[in-house]
Amino acid sequence: GAYNVALGHSALLNNTTASNNTAVGYQAAYSNTTGARITAIGNGALYANTTGNDNTAVGWSTLNANTTGINNIAMGRDALGANSSGGYNVALGMSSLTSNTTASYNTGVGYAAMYSNTTGANNTAIGSWNGSSLSAPLASNTTGNYNIALGNAALAKNTTASQNVALGYQASYAS
């Protein structure tokens, strides 16, 4: 590969032909072989990425399990941490979309937004966990699709329901 920057012990260690990558931190982009145009900043950021292109991970263990997912943006500790092949996701905030594995086109903004989501796609959650059980927006959603939750605890107990809109604190909390 060409035009790569690696700073930190084992950063971009397994890179073979991938180009235009930046890895800063201990084991950042450690497993990357051919994934191009990735930015990994933080301990273990994009650690398992092998072929996923155009990903940005900033923070400890962000996009840590990503192997083939593309066009993801994760900022904050553990954001999109379990994502393996999901693409086009945006997770901003500690533990936002942390359980997401294969789902795509999700946006989680705020601490623990969409924390439990695994395969639910095309969801938007904006708000933050406030310290009480299930208080982040769409916190319990696992497979529900096309949901919009704006506000702390909005749709927080939704697990599988789809095509819902909840605006405001605890809106549709018990759904």
Is this model's pTM higher than 0.85 or not? yes
For the stretch 27-79, pLDDT in tens is: 999 999 999 999 999 999 999 999 999 999 999 999 999 999 999 999 999 99
How far apart, in whole angstroms, are the C-alpha atoms of residue 23 and residue 44? 10
Of 80, 30, 33, 25, give the one whose Cα is nearest residue 52.
33
User: Residue 170 pLDDT more than 60?
Assistant: yes
For the stretch 121-159, pLDDT in tens is: 999 999 998 776 668 999 999 999 999 999 999 999 999
* Average model confidence (pLDDT) across the chain: 95
**C-alpha dist (Å) from residue 95 to 5, 58, 113, 119, 140:** 27, 12, 7, 16, 13
